[in-house]
Amino acid sequence: MRRCGPFTADVIPQVSHLDESLAADWENVIEWLRLARQQVRGEDTVFSACVKEFEHYLEHNELELALEALAGAAEGQDQSHRFWDSMCVAAMAMKLDVMQAFFAAKWAQTKGRGSSAL
């Protein structure tokens, strides 16, 4: 199990106060992830397990892990231009440069297909 760090009760109130812009960014990432989830397509058991994992991580605000799980669900499947766009924007908002570049490359490969896989 991953741990966030050795925070004590007197430190938690100081780190749990989010400024409005950070909270807005967090909500935007969640919305982009939800949009990507609506777009992702697949049928095998790996896909189903990854989607279940995605839902779990999203529910627990583990946004990077949710993004990775959704990428796992998409692996080996034909995904839409809109799916890769949503994944790219979510990664960009989280400042995950390597993942953003990967999703941007996938997006470029699907360019011209529009939303045909919707």
| Residue 29: pLDDT over 90 | yes
Give the C-alpha separation, 30 to 16, whole Å: 18
Is pLDDT at 57 greater than 60 in this prediction?
yes
Say what the pTM is. 0.75
Domain ranges, ordered by start, for the chain? 22-110
User: How many helices (H) does the chain have, and how many strands (E)?
Assistant: 6, 0
State the average pLDDT over residues 64-70.
96
Place of tokens 């807005």: 24
Average pLDDT over residues 10-34: 65
Structure tokens at 110: 């699907």
pLDDT surpassing 80 at residue 114:
no
Question: What tens digit of pLDDT does each residue of 81-106 get?
Answer: 999 999 999 999 999 999 999 999 99
pLDDT of residue 47: 93
pLDDT at 12 over 50: no
Percentage above 90 pLDDT, the chain = 64
Give per-residue burial for 31-61: e unless 16+ CB within 10 Å, then b: ebbebbbebbebeeeebeebbebbeebbeee
